[in-house]
Structure 1
Amino acid sequence: MSKQLKHLIISSIKRSQNNNASANTRATEIDVSELPQSTVDSLTGLFIGGGMKTGVFVSDSAYKRELLEKTTLNEDDISFSEFRTLSDKLAKLLAQTLNQGQAQQAKDGFLVSYVYSSTFGTGEDTYTQTYLCNVFLHRVEGVDINEDLTFEEIERINLDNLSLGARVCVDSVYSDDSNERPITFKISGRTIVSKFFLKFIGGEEPENSTEDTKRLKDAIEKYASENGYDIDGIECLCDRAKAFCKERIQQNDGYVSILDLAAYLFVGDDKRTGFVTLLQDEYSISETFLVNPSEVNKFTNLYVKTSEFTLQFKTKALSTNIDWDPENQSLTFSNLPEEAVNQILTYLPNRESVTVNS
């Protein structure tokens, strides 16, 4: 997976003597090509790890409206027009949010807005997703971003210690898939502004245990396949994940931490980090989420249901009892019980010509 930082700008959210918050955005974008690699890595890696949640936009989100007005989708490629204008509007939207009700007690600070892209997959099977990120940094006494709104003091502010920020997958915003969750966010700490940050984004965190559990199974299978596991290895991972989730259902009301799950399934920090990254970046799963018991039971089964039939079998049957004929696009099942075969033959046309070998 490769990442590229494309746009970056900083806005100052400052309160006047009458406590009114206003936004001032840097006149031009920061030249990302001149940033040290450590800062680029910090910005593009902020939204991976503990405490992350996923969400969707509410129907009247002003943030989403501004985003769609300043972006264009051309053949799966996202481009930003007037990124500085978009960032300024979002900063003003945050200032407006902080001037309402209890939010007027919130301290001011800086809004760091940036765009980066991630390319997933290898060879011809690659695709790219584009993210718009907003990170809020509180003003710290004695430490400040300078008057030109540059990153001179960013190391002292410690960007890596993210407590308040949101990342929006712009590709998902344009998607027609109702199951998409374009927002990844972290809202921690007890500051007043943290209570209103998600309101500024215009987002909410849905809880859909069935969909999340299906995504988890898909992610395990994909990650294992891409990392050299054979069919038996994939089934073993799914079986271990099933046992882990069942234990959490019994002891933790069904809530699972993907960090704990990664540590349980894989050996080595690189594999664990890679798995967590896949879950959060591609499958939009929160750091802690609720699993569905019925879906967990399907972790070692393949389950297909249409309006005409329901098909379910254990994944290990793929290597022992099921053959695929690519030429005829057909599956052949072996070792079926004779009773099951006879029931099927009862409804088959021309069943007199069918021979069953027991």
Structure 2
Amino acid sequence: MSVDVKQLAINHIELDNQGQSKAHYRPSLVEATVAVAHLVEQLHLAYNGKPAKGYAVFNADKPQQVVTALKDWQQQTSDFTVLANTATAELEQQLTAHQLPEHGYFLVCHYRYLASEYILFCLLGSKDHFALSDELELATSRHLDIARMQLAARIDLTAYQTSEQQGNYLSFIRGRAGRKVADFFLDFLGCEEGADAKANSKMVLASVEEYFTAAEFDNNEKNDTRKQVYQYCEERAKSGQEVVLAELSAVVDEQEQQGFMRYCQEQQLAVSDQFPVEVKELKNLVKFAGQGGGLSLSFEQTLLGDRVQYDAHSDTLLIKGTPPNLRDQLQRFVQGYSSFEHKAKGE
């Protein structure tokens, strides 16, 4: 993996005695060293690995402080420090306005990965680590808590400059607080929600299955293709890239590589040339899973109709051949219960 760090700014947001956010500014940018490159690489991977992202576009009816600073920086009428500090000041105000008691280190990073350039905004907490010297002296150090990244957003500068109309260039982590965090980022960056990754994923599922029927795929072809589609989408999501319809079409049908794309056009399906997806929504391509009422169950889709039979009328699953560890537990339980029953009857 190769992340090319262009510029990195780090400021600090703390909470005062009244619980209000207060920003502290670093006077200069962080020098781009090997350690900084490794840090940004970890941030990139952590952000890509976060599920349930929201996607947005800039909206002129929203606060424009960050957008204006971004455009000034792009036009080289101001430097990156101005952009980072403007974003920090707006973050401070929006945290207070939305009553989010968050604090930590606010990183604004401009970097390139593969063919795309990004600006990542993230507020990270910290945690203390303890170490002992050879003389058993105790020392502490403060580490950025990248694993718990929750407040973060990223602008794909390349997509913003080349395909702004598609509405996929700005993403943010929805976080555990759900709608409140979504509203916060929409106000912080002056944007409104755009592409719906969850809806895109469901559309991919439905469209691929429809194409299987139209192209008369047999069961083996369907199963193999489902795996390949899932792997392709997963790889794109992990690298922080969108699904490309032309590439997806080639994965769906290797013999007729534009067949799926033509099918989407002929059926007037609302499929963009590029779009984000949520990988977890695509897992039905390769696996069925669910839980509730004290039951948790999952199995590979290829088993349906073979070792697993489903009767929709009675809502019953028949499973032939259980996993060895489950079978062992069941047999031990049944044997134990039978032995207890025999003893109770005096046998």
Q: What is the TM-score of this pair, normalised by structure 1?
A: 0.52
**SS of the counterpart of 2:146?**
coil
Q: How many residues align?
A: 231
CA distance in 2, matches of 1:196, 1:93: 11
Amino acid at match of 1:242: V
**SS of the counterpart of 2:165?**
coil
Alignment counterpart, residue 194 of structure 2, candidates 202, 206, 211: 206
CA distance in 2, matches of 1:208, 1:193: 17
Aligned Cα RMSD in Å? 4.4
Q: Does the CA-based 8 Å contact 2:154-2:171 persist in structure 1?
A: yes
Match of 2:161 in 1: 174
Within the alignment, does 1:265 sit opposite 2:227 as a pair? yes
Match of 1:235 in 2: none
Unaligned runs of 5+ in 1: 73-78, 120-127, 144-151, 218-238, 247-260, 286-297, 313-358
1:100-147 C-alpha deviation (Å, 9 max, x unpaired): 2xx23523222111111123xxxxxxxx3211100112465x57xxxx
Amino acid at match of 1:275: R
CA distance in 1, matches of 2:267, 2:230: 37
**SS of the counterpart of 1:281?**
coil
What are the equivalent positions in structure 2 for 1:73-88 lying under 5 Å apart?
A: 81-88=78-85
1:182-208 C-alpha deviation (Å, 9 max, x unpaired): 112112123998352332122332356
What are the equivalent positions in structure 2 for 1:1-358 lying under 5 Å apart?
A: 2-35=2-35, 38-49=38-49, 50-59=51-60, 60=62, 61-72=64-75, 81-100=78-97, 103-104=98-99, 106-119=101-114, 128-138=115-125, 142=128, 153-154=142-143, 157-175=144-162, 177-190=164-177, 194=181, 196-207=184-195, 212=200, 242-243=208-209, 264-266=226-228, 273-277=234-238, 280-283=240-243, 300=260, 302=262
Q: Does the CA-based 8 Å contact 1:106-1:191 persist in structure 2?
A: no
User: CA, structure 1 residues 193+87, in 2 after alignment: closer, same or farther (shift >3 Å)?
Assistant: farther
User: CA, structure 1 residues 110+244, in 2 after alignment: closer, same or farther (shift >3 Å)?
Assistant: farther
1:223-282 C-alpha deviation (Å, 9 max, x unpaired): xxxxxxxxxxxxxxxx99712999xxxxxxxxxxxxxx999523997x66423346x524
Deviation at 1:51, TM superposition (A): 2.6
* Identity of matched residues, %: 18
Q: Does the CA-based 8 Å contact 1:54-1:284 persist in structure 2?
A: no
Unaligned runs of 5+ in 2: 130-140, 213-222, 246-257, 269-347
Q: What is the TM-score of this pair, normalised by structure 2?
A: 0.53
Q: Does the CA-based 8 Å contact 1:44-1:116 persist in structure 2?
A: no
List 4+ stretches of structure 1 deviating above 4 A.
211-214, 261-264
Amino acid at match of 2:161: Y
Deviation at 1:169, TM superposition (A): 1.2
Q: Does the CA-based 8 Å contact 2:57-2:168 persist in structure 1?
A: yes
Greater helix share, structure number: 2
CA distance in 2, matches of 1:263, 1:114: 38
